Amino acid sequence: MSNNPIRTHHKQSMTLAAAGALFGLIFPIAALLIEIWFRSLPFTWETIGQLIAGHPVFWVVCLAPFVLGITGHIIGKRGDYLYEMSISLERLVQERTRALKETNLALENEIAERKTVEAALKESEAKFRTLVENIPAVVYLDNPDEFSTNIYTSPQIENLLGYTVEEWRNIPDLWIQLLHPDDRARVLAENQRAHAEGRFHSEYRLQTRDGRTIWLQDDALLIRDPGGKPLYWQGVLLDITGHKQTEFETLQQKKYFETLLQINPIAIVTLDLDHQITACNPAFEQLFGYTQGEIVGKKIDEIIVPEEKREQAFLYTQKVEFGQVVHALGKRRAKDGRLIDVEIFGAPVVVNGEQVGIVGLYHDLTELIRAQREAEAAAKAKSEFLANMSHEIRTPLNAIVGMTSLLLSTPLNAEQQDYAETIRNSSDALLYIINDILDFSKIEAGKMQLEQHPFYLSDCIETALDLVAASANQKGLDLAYTIQEGVPPKLTGDVTRLRQVLINLLSNAVKFTEKGEIVVSVSAKQVQEDTFELLFSVRDTGIGIPPDRLDRLFQAFSQVDTSTTRKYGGTGLGLTISKRLVEMMGGKIWVESQVGVGSTFSFTILATTAVATARLSGLGQPPSLNGKRLLIVDDNVTNRLILERHTRKWGMLPVQAESGPAALKMLEDGERFDLAILDMHMPDMDGLTLAGIIQQKYPPDVLPLIMLTSLGYKQEDVEKVSFAAYLTKPIKPAQLQSVLTSIIQKHAEPVKKTATLAQLDESLGHEHHLRILLVEDNPVNQKVAINLLKRLGYLADVSSNGLEALEALERQEYDVILMDVQMPEMDGVTATAHIRQRYPQRAPRIIAMTADALEGDRERYLEAGMDDYISKPVRVEELIQALQKCRPLPPA
């Protein structure tokens, strides 16, 4: 009897293995008994030995105890059910063993229990076979003989190599035949060593039936009996082709990146998470003078970071530790003590989602900074040379312009007058070109500075339109502008540069438009509490621009093609300067165009709001206009929409008519109107003819008529028709409202011309002769002032700063100086002081011109010696009033 306690799980497995082995003895014993009985041999040990020695089949049968023992061992490890069963079996065996000693009746129960175990073993074997035949690997059993003949191979061999199990088992040396030639010697040597070591592990290539080469991992263990006798090889073949391919690619990538690291001209260093150097490339060694052996294991900051920069460098490293990428410029110290300008990159090294280190890159900027400084010096020298040349050219040109002005003021015959005007016009054109070049050189040299002064947006746009109005009128082009709701009326910024951009775009629009219209529109978007992004658009109906040439527009000294330069002239700098100015004002510029249809140039700027004064209070909603019916007759859709928009905002009831006959039909149908605005230039029936027909039925006191005409229209053309007022294009809201209000309220008798036309009457210059010197550095302001003066009948000379003004006074006398206040080299206040000192008895009258100034500025300029004051943008009324106060100097 056994008093041993219940065995552990391991002992249960060993018990099942022993039971399987004992049960397996039945097969060789039964086979021997059957063979002895069948051959009628004596049952002796000698007979048994002869049978076993003479029949190899008995060797295989003798393996049954071992196979069943292994099977029992596996079964014992596979499930709790067999574990419990083995415990029960052990107990039953113990009980039945005791019972057999006591009585033979227990034999039947023992046999029954053994049958149960046999069934369990068969079930376990089936499960084991199912498991083996479904795992993604080949399981095999080989004899431990010299040739390792196969005992068992799982069916996966066919999917793996294309050979059946029978072929693999029965073809001698098939495995050796399929070995890759490059692996054969090595693998066979490993196989020989494995017989001595009892373990085989190798990776090699085999040739499949279809010609492919695959990689296999072969792991086998020599199973021995308790006495140490080899029983069989138990092994597994695993397809590792994909793994090998990945390993190969990884190795290639590693070699690639190692090579890239070695040949990379940028200094690269790797750190661990303690900021210690783990490796560096040759570029790092060359840049800083350290070898890799000198710095590995040391802190990077202690090696190359100057003492005063270490705190900042430590912050950089901390950022990288938190997963951020660092990009900075700085100085790092080489081994010999030199400080090197470098561009620094720092980034975390992450593997499988975990940060394992830091990589640092140092790009030597020494040569780049030297080249940059040389380029900046060269650009500065070029720009300064260009500016100096422009100045030197403009000085004699100023004399040409001045002397031509004097020549034009003397008695000349028609031919001489034409020659002199040609010289003056050509000089003006050359002056504009030089001014463009000077502006461009200022921008290139970084000397262009933006001013910040309050200005009215409508004044800026109207002044720009006034400057191109004459040219547009010569071509019969309509000019218009519209400011959308929500645009602040008064802003703070550089009105001069904004106007310069608008004039450039408007001048181009007039230059490249033969018929139709040019419209300026403005909208705004609030970006901060007092900051707006203004969007300006200048739309024309001109020749358009081909899509493949749009990229040339904003390049310096470039136009769409050379033919336009020949036909229209120009330096090609206008749009380049405009682009730079817009960018300086925080915006951008672009164009949309269609050949034969027209172009729209758009740009944005950022500007802050300024407090509007009572000057614009009249643009509210006057009660006198509320409910008044207005007839608008114009063939231009844009002009009609602008007029309707403004008048409807003032409470009027506008009605549009696209032609004279359409307007007459409205009147014939009995519609009544309080006012009518008629465009002068319309097809089929012009405004003058339409006005004559209307006044045959409706006298001026019944239906007042307002003529909408282009700049320069003469009074004698309309003697036969009585107009209540005249309006010039482009339509100005303040002027329009003032005219409409005065007519409705009947504050003034109907007149032949409005103040605007009187302001532009050239007779003023002939009746009130003055020698005028304009001192202004900005080319746009020069253009505005010169054209306004020309419209008033004056030909002014131009100086670009106070020094040039003093030189001009040395050459000749002037009655009036229009003096800008802020100028380079010598400003207006300083120039005024010099003039007063040099010419105490015959000093000209000096009129200050400056931007929309603050309260008290007028008094300050008068105290500085100036005689009068005009604010920018210059208004014609103020200019006329200031000129009328001037008197020519008496003869010396």
Whether the predicted pLDDT of 757 surpasses 50: no
Q: What is the pLDDT of residue 759?
A: 41
* Distance of alpha carbon 337 from the chain centroid: 41
Question: What single-letter amino acid sits at 439?
Answer: D
Peptide bond just before 730 cis, omega within 30 deg: yes
Nearest to 724 by CA among 636, 630, 615: 630
As a dihedral over the C-alpha atoms of residue 41, residue 46, residue 49, residue 50, rounded to 10 degrees, the angle is: -60
Contact 381, 356 (CB under 8 A): no
Q: What is the pLDDT of residue 301?
A: 86
CA distances from 737 to 556, 607, 811 (A): 43, 27, 47
Mean pLDDT of 485-499: 88
Q: What is the pLDDT of residue 426?
A: 73
Mean pLDDT of 415-419: 76
pLDDT tens, 789-830? 887 888 888 888 898 899 889 888 999 999 988 887 788 889
Q: What is the pLDDT of residue 312?
A: 86
- The strand order across the sheet containing 797-799 reads 797-799, 772-775, 816-820, 845-851, 868-872
Least confident of 10-19, 505-514, 590-599, 657-666: 10-19
Whether the predicted pLDDT of 527 surpasses 60: yes
- The percentage of the chain sitting over the pLDDT mark of 90, rounded to a whole number, equals 21
pLDDT tens, 237-278? 999 988 888 888 878 877 877 787 788 888 999 998 888 999
Q: Which residues contact 813 (CB under 8 A, 6 or more apart)?
A: 771, 842, 844, 889, 892
Contact 743, 675 (CB under 8 A): yes
Q: What is the pLDDT of residue 787?
A: 78
Contact 277, 298 (CB under 8 A): yes
pLDDT tens, 714-748? 444 556 788 888 887 778 887 788 888 888 876 43
Strands of 693-736 (E only): list them.
Answer: 705-709, 725-728
> Helix or strand or coil: residue 145?
coil
> Helix or strand or coil: residue 208?
coil
Say which DSSP state 261 is in: H
Q: What is the pLDDT of residue 45?
A: 76
pLDDT tens, 614-668? 444 445 667 788 889 999 999 888 889 889 988 998 889 999 999 999 999 999 9
Classify residue 337 as left (phi > 0), alpha (psi -120 to 50) or beta. left
Least confident of 416-420, 421-425, 613-617: 613-617
Mean pLDDT of 68-76: 72
Tokens coding 495: 């009105």
- Per-residue DSSP letters for 531-573? EEEEEEEEEE-SS---GGGGGGTTSTT--S-HHHHHHH---S-
Whether the predicted pLDDT of 682 surpasses 60: yes
Helix (H) or strand (E) holding 62: helix 57-62
Terminal alpha carbon distance of the chain: 156
Q: According to the per-residue pLDDT averaged within each range, which of 82-96, 455-469, 517-531, 776-790 is highest?
A: 517-531
Angstrom distance (rounded) from CA 431 to CA 390: 9
- Answer positive or negative: Cα dihedral of 542, 543, 545, 546: positive
CA distances from 85 to 8, 9, 13, 644 (A): 13, 12, 11, 104
Q: What is the pLDDT of residue 473?
A: 81
Classify residue 446 as left (phi > 0), alpha (psi -120 to 50) or beta. left
Pairing type for strands 150-153 and 772-775 reads unpaired
Return the axis-axis angle of helices 495-511 and 457-475, rounded to nearest 10°: 20
Classify residue 647 as left (phi > 0), alpha (psi -120 to 50) or beta. alpha
Angstrom distance (rounded) from CA 774 to CA 699: 47
Q: What share of the chain is helix, strand, coil (3-state, %, to 5)?
A: 50, 20, 30
- pTM of the full structure: 0.48
Helix (H) or strand (E) holding 56: none
- The percentage of the chain sitting over the pLDDT mark of 70, rounded to a whole number, equals 82
Angstrom distance (rounded) from CA 795 to CA 377: 41
Least confident of 90-94, 446-450, 622-626, 633-637: 446-450
Tokens coding 195: 């017989």
pLDDT tens, 829-874? 899 999 999 998 888 999 998 764 444 566 777 888 899 888 766 7
- Answer positive or negative: Cα dihedral of 652, 658, 660, 664: negative
- Beta bridge partners, 772, equal 816
Nearest to 795 by CA among 786, 804, 803: 786
Mean pLDDT of 317-322: 84
Q: What is the pLDDT of residue 228?
A: 85
Q: List the alpha helices (DSSP H) in 534-685.
A: 562-568, 574-584, 637-649, 660-668
Q: Which residues contact 21 (CB under 8 A, 6 or more apart)?
A: 65, 66, 68, 69, 72
Q: According to the per-residue pLDDT averaged within each range, which of 41-50, 659-668, 746-755 is highest?
A: 659-668
Peptide bond just before 411 cis, omega within 30 deg: no
Return the axis-axis angle of helices 106-134 and 9-24, rounded to nearest 10°: 100
How high is the mean pLDDT of the chain? Answer: 81
Q: What is the pLDDT of residue 110?
A: 63
